[in-house]
């Protein structure tokens, strides 16, 4: 088992040495799928999902029984530049709401039979404003990555990572700009008006060029946030534990992007839960080579879209593992 890394260099090593899917379990799942009582391919993407899940769990007839949802929260110095429709105090207020059970993710996790954890990360110590200097030092980023790494439950069998952080669509857009390039990564986030959006786009472009030319993990330190780094750490840990991951919206995918830029195979254990209404999310998913399971116009974060997609992954496994074969049911094959 890979030890918890303590530095950005350690995380880079953890991402260079990744377990692969179990090809035998995938082949066994595919063979079973071919004899289930349905026309071949009639369950569409559910069939691929079941085979993908079987491979990561190393079991031909898996079930989703212990999903874990982790919501990481962080505060962002760049909020001083007026990049969000909401004030930064909302982050700590929403953490209290999560802890009291009053947020959307509380209901969605309950409804998906998932264990929910909320991990606030130094909320009284926002990251530095990255238009003025790096958001985090490399050791601070490593600490946040480690917090994510540690939060994953070894016995979970599906992981959703979500976030709460006023200002974090600006950080996510800056990461995408620096790591992928081009413009148009800034969006309305919590609901910026046109003037706010053009100010945000300028800030994102300026920050990305100020912190250009760094490695992906150093870019994460310079432009990310603690909750973004923690999501990246949790996704990496899940890979080492062979726990499949459902990705959430734009910010979650920006965290995943950092891992993808270190090692393009680092997200093979991840599926895109949904396409967020944040304008650049679709483009980010395309870059990651992921097709979203749901498209419901959500732009909440908190892991909400991914928590909804737990139902889809669970249903895929229920069909795959519970259905009768043609021989068992005495149904004639075509």
Ligand X SMILES: O=C(O)c1ccc[n+]([C@@H]2O[C@H](COP(=O)([O-])O)[C@@H](O)[C@H]2O)c1
Ligand Y SMILES: Cc1cc2nc[nH]c2cc1C
167 contributes a contact to ligand X by CB under 6 A: yes
Q: Which does 281 bind (CB under 5 to 8 A by kind): ligand X, ligand Y, none?
A: ligand X
Residue 42: CB atoms within 10 Å: 10
Count of residues touching ligand X (by CB under 6 A): 24
String marking each residue 237-266 x if it binds ligand X according to CB under 6 A: -----------xxxx---------------
User: Partners of 245 in the beta sheet?
Assistant: 159, 270
Q: Which does 278 bind (CB under 5 to 8 A by kind): ligand X, ligand Y, none?
A: ligand X
CA distance 28 to 308: 28
318 contributes a contact to ligand Y by CB under 6 A: no
258 versus 300: smaller Cβ distance to ligand X: 300
118 versus 166: smaller Cβ distance to ligand X: 166
CB–CB of 255/148 below 8 Å? no
The helix (run of H) or strand (run of E) holding residue 164 is strand 158-164
Q: What is the footprint of ligand Y within residues 251-270 (CB under 6 A)?
A: none
| Torsional class of 100: left (φ above 0), alpha (ψ -120 to 50), beta (otherwise) | alpha
Please select the residue that binds ligand Y; options are 43, 69, 83, 94, rule is CB under 6 A. Answer: 94
Q: Which of 209, 206, 214, 204 is nearest to 261 (CA)?
A: 214
Length of the chain: 334
Q: Half-sphere exposure (CA, 13 Å, Cβ side) for 77?
A: 17
302 assigned to active site? yes
At residue 116, φ and ψ (nearest 5 deg) are -105, 130
Query: Which range, of 5-13, 40-48, 82-90, 176-184, touches ligand X by CB under 6 A?
Result: 82-90
224 contributes a contact to ligand X by CB under 6 A: no
String marking each residue 44-73 x if it binds ligand Y according to CB under 6 A: ------------------------------
Report the nearest approach of ligand Y to the CB of residue 135 (Å). 19
Residues 6+ apart with CB under 8 A from 119: 70, 71, 72, 73, 147, 148, 151, 230
Helix (H, G, I), strand (E, B) or coil at 161: strand
7 contributes a contact to ligand Y by CB under 6 A: no
The per-residue DSSP string of 32-64 comes to HHHTBSS-TTTTTHHHHHHHHHHHHHT-SS---
Q: How far apart are the first and last CA of the chain?
A: 46
Q: Quick one: how far is CA 167 from the chain centroid? A: 17
Q: Which does 276 bind (CB under 5 to 8 A by kind): ligand X, ligand Y, none?
A: ligand X
Which of these is catalytic: 117, 202, 302, 333? 302
147 versus 255: smaller Cβ distance to ligand X: 255
CA distance 207 to 211: 6
Q: What is the footprint of ligand Y within residues 279-308 (CB under 6 A)?
A: 300-302
97 contributes a contact to ligand X by CB under 6 A: no
278 contributes a contact to ligand X by CB under 6 A: yes
151 versus 276: smaller Cβ distance to ligand X: 276
Q: Which does 106 bind (CB under 5 to 8 A by kind): ligand Y, ligand X, none?
A: none
| Torsional class of 226: left (φ above 0), alpha (ψ -120 to 50), beta (otherwise) | alpha
170 versus 321: smaller Cβ distance to ligand X: 170
190 contributes a contact to ligand Y by CB under 6 A: yes
User: Partners of 161 in the beta sheet?
Assistant: 70
Catalytic residues: 302
Binding interface with ligand X (CB under 6 A): 84-86, 163-170, 189-190, 248-251, 276, 278, 281, 299-302
Binding interface with ligand Y (CB under 6 A): 86, 90, 94, 164, 190, 300-302
């Amino acid at each position: 088992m890979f030890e918890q890394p303590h530095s950005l260099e350690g995380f880079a090593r953890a991402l260079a040495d990744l377990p692969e899917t179990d090809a035998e379990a995938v082949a066994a799942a595919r063979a079973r799928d071919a004899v289930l009582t349905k026309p071949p391919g009639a369950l569409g993407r559910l069939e691929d999902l079941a085979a993908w899940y079987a491979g990561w769990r190393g079991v031909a007839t898996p079930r989703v029984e212990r999903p874990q949802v982790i919501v990481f929260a962080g505060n962002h110095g760049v909020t001083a530049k007026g990049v969000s429709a909401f004030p930064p105090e909302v982050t700590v207020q929403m953490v209290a709401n999560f802890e009291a059970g009053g947020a959307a993710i509380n209901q969605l996790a309950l409804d998906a039979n998932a264990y929910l954890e909320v991990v606030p990360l130094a909320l009284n110590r926002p990251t530095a404003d990255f238009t003025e200097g790096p958001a985090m030092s490399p050791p601070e980023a490593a600490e946040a990555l480690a917090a994510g790494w540690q939060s994953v439950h070894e016995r979970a069998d599906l992981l959703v990572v979500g976030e709460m952080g006023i200002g974090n669509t600006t950080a996510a857009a800056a990461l995408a700009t620096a790591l992928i390039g081009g413009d148009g990564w800034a969006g309305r986030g919590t609901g910026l008006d046109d003037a706010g959006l053009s100010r945000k786009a300028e800030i994102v472009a300026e920050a990305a060029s100020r912190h250009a030319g760094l490695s992906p993990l150093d870019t994460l330190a310079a432009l990310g946030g603690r909750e973004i780094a923690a999501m990246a750490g949790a996704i990496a840990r899940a890979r080492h534990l062979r726990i499949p991951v459902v990705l959430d919206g734009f910010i979650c995918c920006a965290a995943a992007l950092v891992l993808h830029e270190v090692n393009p195979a680092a997200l093979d254990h991840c599926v895109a839960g949904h396409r967020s209404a944040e304008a650049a999310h679709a483009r980010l998913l395309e870059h990651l080579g992921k097709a979203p399971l749901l498209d419901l116009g959500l732009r909440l974060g908190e892991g909400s879209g991914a928590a909804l997609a737990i139902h889809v992954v669970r249903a895929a496994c229920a069909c795959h593992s519970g259905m009768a074969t043609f021989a068992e049911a005495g149904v004639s094959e075509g």
